[in-house]
Structures are given as structure tokens and as C-alpha cells.
Amino acid sequence: MLKFLSILTTIFIFSGCSLKPDIKYDSSVIPKEFKNSTNNSNLEYIQPNWEEFVKNDKLKELIKLAIENNKDLKIAILNIESARATYRVETSKYFPSIDAKASNTNARDVTSNNQTEISRTYSAKFGASYEVDLFGKTRSLNDSALESYLATKFAATSTKISLISEVINLWNTFSSNIEQIKLLENSINNLKLNAELTQKKFDMGIILIDDVFSSQTNLKEAEVNLLNHLTIIEKNKNALELLVSTTISNDLLPTGFKDSENSLMLIEAGISSEVLFSRPDIVEAEHNLKSKNANIGVARAAFFPSITLTADYGLASNSLSSLFNGGSQTVWSFIPSINLPIFKGGENRANLDYANAQQKIALAQYEKTIQTAFKDVSDALVERANISKQLYAQEDLVNTAKKSYEVALSSYKYGLGNYLNVLVTQKILFDTQRALVDMKLIELINRVSLYASLGGNEKID
């Protein structure tokens, strides 16, 4: 009895020991500070969630619809449910497998006096089977499933952040398209007035027919350009509806940059690069690495013996009616078994080599994900560093181009200038105005890039 207890004690002492290796990270993968950030490295920095980041009520409603309806996000959430179920399957292996059995055995035998007799045996038993986890195989399988589940969860979080970013950028792009259409409509009105003016001057014999044709050509060109932009804005709306997965009412769409210019908060830039370690794609890559590392423990455990304990306990009787009363007998069995791997044609070694290779791949992917994340933030900060100066400079350029056009047009009206100068200055004004709209859109997209590249602050339950 003491020997049996000592064996059990040894089993439980060594049960669950892990053969997983330690993960060796490269500490030089990520620099300590971002480029173009301020000197204020705030480790207590808290990234805003999308509801804090977005300031426009129309845009907030649109994002809520996207989170509720988007198919890609739904698929990502269903993948979480699948991974969670897999983890629960692996967790169940910590406990014995228990089942109930009932049997009826009928046999016809020859007795010693050469007679035949029929015997019947009825039994009802509970059976239990349990594999002792001496070398951490079950624990490693469970750890691998858990890390895969967590990786899937953070992958879904990344999908959510990408969805939010795409909705914001498309909404703001829609806004810029409206501004471009307003510029085109204003340009067409001016070109119509210029065309009327040149026609009057031609009728009076002041100018040649060339100026009339030039004014009409520029007018038609602007009208064609307007039709192209109307097509673009409809495609933009279709793209938004695809993200939201439902029809978007016009009251949720912007009417121009007056809706967009103050729609987003500006993310603080003076923060430590260590905040990237909470970025969902990095956390996902880290959990994938841990999952692959746990698989090495599983592959290593395959080289060692496995012990399985199987036991049955129940009742048996020659008649069914007495099975559950005083006429039955207690029956039991206890069968410990050991499986010692001797020769499998190199299968275990191949599995271990494969697990090691997968772990190295996951480690490289983890380090690359960190470097990519650092690049994303650095790019956004590089753009942010001069974007305000560019906006001010572009606004000054628009004002200068507007004055130049007004002078050229006024001179032409009073016969002091030529029409070619009017066309050139008008085109310059139109191009600078369009460039200003594009610059405002770039500034808004940059805000979204900072929000997303710093990791957002979103969760998937």
C-alpha cells in the first residue's frame, strides 16, 4: 500500500511539468522613441476609443451601423467563437473522461457432461479514463489552444479598428468630393459668364473668334469634369454602403468640409514607443508565437512514455430483474497502461523539427509586426510634422491665385489684357483650390493614421 501511495505521489509531483522552451526576444527590435515625436514620453498615455476620437454625430452613427452590420467583422467574431470552442475542448482534457455502460451478454456453452446451457449476464457500469500528464503534453495543448484563441480575439480587434478607419476615411473622402463638385460648379458659373463676355466682345468686333472657341471649350471641359466627379461620389457612397452593409440615408452623409474639418480629435504625439506593445496586431502576433512555442512542448512530450489510467465500477447479475437489487454483484476493474515510444520511423523527430521551425517563423513574424507598427507611426508623425505649415501655405497660395485671376479678368473686361491670361489664371486658381481640398483630406486621413497606428483602444467581447 505504501509503495502504491509513493507511486501516486511521484505521478502528481511530475504531472504537468512543461517541456516548452523559453522564448528569446530581440530587445533591439523596436527603438525607444518615435521619429518626429516631442520629448514628452508619456508611459501613462491612454489611447482614445473611437467614440472619443470621432466628434461628428453623423459619422458616429455611421460607424455604429458598420460595427453592427459589417460582414468581415462578423466573420472575425465568429472565428473567435470557433477558437474559444477549441480551447474548451483542450481544457476538458484536464479532467477524467467518464461514461456509463450497460451490456447484456448471451452465451451457449458445452458443460462437462456434454450438455449445453445458455447463460446470460447483465451489467451496468461507470467507466473513467484519464491520461496522466507527466510531461506537460495536455498542458501544452491547452496553452496552444488558449494562445490561438487570444490571437484570434486580437485579430478581430484589428479588423474592427481597420473597419472604423475605413469608414472615417471614406466619409471624409465623400466630403472632399462634395467640395470638389462645389468648386467645379463655381468654376462652370464663372466660365459661363466669361463665355457670354467673349461672345459679346466678338459681336462688337473687339476680339477674334478664337477667344470665343477657347471660352466654350473650357466650359465644356469643366462640365465633363463635373459629370466625372458625380460618378466618383456615387461610387464613394456605394463603397460606404458596402462597409456598413446597409443603405445609408442622406442625413448621415456630409454636406462638405464644414462637417469634416472638426470631426476628429488630434492624437497626442509625444509618447513612448512602448505603447505599441498594446497594438492589437502585435498582441495577436505575440499570442501566435506563444501558441507555436507551446506546440514544441507537445512535440517534445511525444518522445516520453504516456500513462493512461482506466477504471470500471458497477453491478452484474444473471437476470435483468435483479441487476439493481440484492441479487447483483459488485464488479470493478482498474487498468493502468503505459505507452513507450520506441520506433516510429522518425515521425516524432520530424514533428519536433516542424514545431521548432514554426516557432522560429512566428518569432520572425512577431518582430516584423513590431517593426511595421513602428514604421506606421513614424510615417504618420513625419507627415504630421509639416502638415499644418502646408495647409497655411496652400491657403495663402489660393488667396494669391484668386487675386491674380480677379486682376486678369478685370483687365480683360476693360480691354487691357488678353483672354489667354484670364484662362491661365483661372486654371491656376482652380488647381490651387482643388489642392487645398486634397490637403485638408490628407490632414484628416493623417489623424486616422495616428489613431490606427498607435493601436486604437477597441475591444471585442
- Average pLDDT of the segment spanning 226-250: 90
Instruction: Indicate the domain borders of the chain.
Output: 14-95+134-303+350-453
- Average pLDDT of the segment spanning 144-164: 86
Name which of 139, 137, 145 is nearest 306 in CA terms.
137
- For residue range 107-141, what is the model confidence (pLDDT) as tens digits? 777 666 777 777 777 677 777 776 766 666 677 77
- Average pLDDT of the segment spanning 337-355: 77
pLDDT band at 11 (very low <50, low <70, confident <90, very high): very low
Output 37 or 183, whichever has higher pLDDT: 183
With a cut of 60, say whether residue 153 has pLDDT above it. Answer: yes
CB 88 within 8 A of CB 82: no
- For residue range 273-282, what is the model confidence (pLDDT) as tens digits? 677 777 888 8
Kindly report the average pLDDT of the chain as a whole number. 78
CB 19 within 8 A of CB 140: yes
- For residue range 57-76, what is the model confidence (pLDDT) as tens digits? 999 999 999 988 888 888 88
Name which of 301, 304, 310 is nearest 340 in CA terms.
304
Name which of 410, 406, 400 is nearest 432 in CA terms.
400
Residue 40 confidence (pLDDT)? 47
Residue 1 confidence (pLDDT)? 37
Name which of 339, 323, 438 is nearest 390 in CA terms.
438
Handedness of CA 175, 179, 181, 182 (dihedral sign): positive
DSSP class of residue 309 equals E
Residue whose cell numbers read 491670361: 421
Handedness of CA 341, 346, 352, 358 (dihedral sign): negative
Of these ranges, 29-38, 291-300, 423-432, 433-442, the one predicted with the greatest mean pLDDT is 433-442
pTM (2 d.p.) = 0.77
Structure-block grid coordinates of residue 224 = 465633363
Residue 135 confidence (pLDDT)? 65
Q: What are phi and psi of 27, to 5 degrees?
A: -70, -15
Q: Which fold has domain 14-95+134-303+350-453?
A: Outer membrane efflux proteins (OEP) (1.20.1600)
Output 312 or 53, whichever has higher pLDDT: 53
CA pair distance 115, 118, nearest whole angstrom: 10
Residues in the chain: 461
- For residue range 355-401, what is the model confidence (pLDDT) as tens digits? 888 888 888 888 888 888 888 888 888 888 888 889 999 999 999 99
pLDDT band at 234 (very low <50, low <70, confident <90, very high): very high
Share of the chain above pLDDT 70, in %: 78
With a cut of 60, say whether residue 15 has pLDDT above it. Answer: no
